[in-house]
Amino acid sequence: MTPKSKIHQASFRDPSGYMIHDGEVLRRVINPIYFPQYKKLKSSGFFDTLIKKGLLISHEETSVSESEIVITPEKIPFITNPYEWSFEQFKHAALLTLQIQKYALSKGFILKDASAYNVTFHKGKPIFIDTLSFDFYEENTPWRAYKQFITHFFGPLILAKYHGTDIFKMLQTHIDGIPVKLIASLLPKKTKFSSTLFTNIHLLAKMESKHSEDYKAETKKAKLSKKAQNNILESLFGYIKDLKVQEATEWGNYYAKTNYDALAFEGKKQLIREWVIDSKAKTLIDVGGNDGTFARTVIDQLDHVMVTDIDSNAVDDNYYQSQQHKEHNMLPFVCDVLQPAPGIGFNNTERSSLIQRLVEYRPDVTMALALIHHVTLSGNVPFEKSAEFFAQFSDRLIIEFPKRTDSWVTSLLVRKREFINHFDFYNQENFEDGYQQYFQIEKKQPIDGTERVLYLMKRK
C-alpha cells in the first residue's frame, strides 16, 4: 500500500484511483474497482488513438498486480489552472473536452466527469490529463457530466463574453465550477432569447432548483438517445467555437506605445539573449512578459519558457503566436503579480498556489522587464518585498529598472498627486539596496537610447 503522505493533494475525489509522488516522479495508481474500464480502454485502442492524436497525456504501465495497477504519465513541466487561462485557452480546453466526449461516445465510453482541471496546457496545446475520467456508456443514458461541463466550461465562457475574462477568477472561489443559478442570474435578459443559452443555462437553472431535493437519487430515470446526446455536444461545440470576448485591453498594442525607438528595442533584445545564453539556462519565466516578444528572442535556447501577463488579451496574442509557429516549449498564462493565484480547495492544497508551483518549477532565469515600476509605484510594494518575491523561486534574475526620468515612471508618479513625495525612495540606489538583500548584482548595463538600466542578478 502507498503511504498516505505520498498521495497527491488533489487526488481524493475519484475512487477509481489516485496520484502518488514516487520521489520526483508522479504516478497514477488504479484501484481494482476501475480495472474493467482500464483494461477495455487499453485493449480497444481507445487510449492509443487519443494519445497519438495528442489529446490525452501519454502514459506507461509501470506495474500490474491484483490489488493495483500503476501507470506513469508523461511529465508536464508546469500545471496551469483554469483561472490562469486566457479566453482562447479556456475555449480550446472546452472544445477539447467536447471532442473527447463525442469520440468516447462513439466507442462505447463516456467522460464521467467534465472538470476543467482535467485539462492543462502542454507543448503549446490543451491536453486531457485525467486518464481515469472514462467510464462505460450505458445505452440511452444522459451525460452525467453535463452539468459539470456547464459550470466548469460553458458558463464561465459565456460570463466572460459579457463581463470580461476577470470572471474566470471566480473559479478560485468555486472549485467545482460556478453554480448554474449564479451563472443565470449574472447573464443579461436577452440571453433568454438564444435557444442555446436558454436551454443550456436558464432552463437548466430552473430545472435544477425544481429538482434540488432528489433524495431518492432518481437520476437514473432520465433517458436520452445517443443521437440526441451527440446533438447537444455538436451544438455546444459550434457555439463555443464562435464565441468572442469584447474586452478593452490593458496593454494591447504595448510595443507600439513604447517610449523608446527601434534601435533601443533591438539593443535590449540582444543584451537579454547574450545574458541568457551565458547563463546556460534551460528554463525561463518572463513575469509581465506581455505577448512573449522578449522571451521569443531566446526561445530557441531553452527547453521550456513561460510568459505571464496580467492582461488576458496579451496572453491570447502569445498563445495565438505559439500555435502559429508550432512552438512546443512556450507556455503563456495569466497572472497578476500583485495577487498571484492562491492555494484553493480542501485544506487549501487541492490546487497549489502559483508561488508553490514556481518554487517546484525552479526556473533557471526569471525575467522582469518593465515591471518593477508598476509593482513599486502602482502596487506600493517596497523594493525589498518584491526582491523577496523573486528570490523565492529564481536563481538568476534579469530585471529592468526604469529611472525616474523614464516617461512611464514620470506619469505613474504624477498620478500620486499630493503624495508624490512619499515616493522619493524610487531611485536606482534604493532599488539596488533593496535587491541586494537577496541578490548579488552580476551585471548592470544602461540600455542605450532609454532611461532604463538592465540588471543581471544571482540569488545569494
Partner 1 sequence: MSNFSVIFLYFDPGLGAMIVQGLVAAAAGILLFSKNVMYKVKSFFGIAKKEEDTYDSIDIEEDEIHENDSKK
Q: Are strands 365-368 and 396-402 parallel, antiparallel or unpaired?
A: parallel
Dist CA 264 CA 367 (whole Å): 18
Interface with partner 1 in residues 163-202 (CB under 8 A)? 176, 180, 195-196, 198-200
Contact 306, 332 (CB under 8 A): yes
Tell whether residue 238 is a contact of partner 1 (CB under 8 A).
yes
Between 34 and 333, CB nearer to partner 1: 34
Tell whether residue 241 is a contact of partner 1 (CB under 8 A).
yes
Between 63 and 219, CB nearer to partner 1: 219
- Number of residues located near partner 1, criterion CB under 8 A: 72
What is the pattern of x (binds partner 1, CB under 8 A) and - over residues 2-31?
-----------xxxx---------------
Interface with partner 1 in residues 311-350 (CB under 8 A)? 323
| DSSP bridge partners of 285 | 306, 366
Q: Using DSSP, state whether 306 is helix, strand or coil.
A: strand
For residue 276, the minimal CB distance to partner 1 (Å) is: 29
Contact 267, 448 (CB under 8 A): yes
- Using CB under 8 A, which of 131, 165, 229, 283 touches partner 1? 229
What number of other Cβ atoms are within 10 A of residue 393's Cβ?
19
Tell whether residue 359 is a contact of partner 1 (CB under 8 A).
no
Tell whether residue 103 is a contact of partner 1 (CB under 8 A).
yes
Going through 293-355 in order, the beta strands assigned E by DSSP cover 304-309, 330-334
Tell whether residue 351 is a contact of partner 1 (CB under 8 A).
no
Tell whether residue 49 is a contact of partner 1 (CB under 8 A).
yes
Tell whether residue 232 is a contact of partner 1 (CB under 8 A).
yes
Interface with partner 1 in residues 144-163 (CB under 8 A)? 144-148, 150
- Using CB under 8 A, which of 10, 203, 413, 441 touches partner 1? 203
Q: How far is CA 111 from CA 115, 146, 326, in A?
A: 10, 10, 29
Question: In which element (H, E) is residue 260 found?
Answer: none
Dist CA 229 CA 262 (whole Å): 55
Contact 364, 395 (CB under 8 A): yes
Dist CA 310 CA 315 (whole Å): 8
For residue 55, the minimal CB distance to partner 1 (Å) is: 7
- Using CB under 8 A, which of 26, 224, 264, 453 touches partner 1? 224
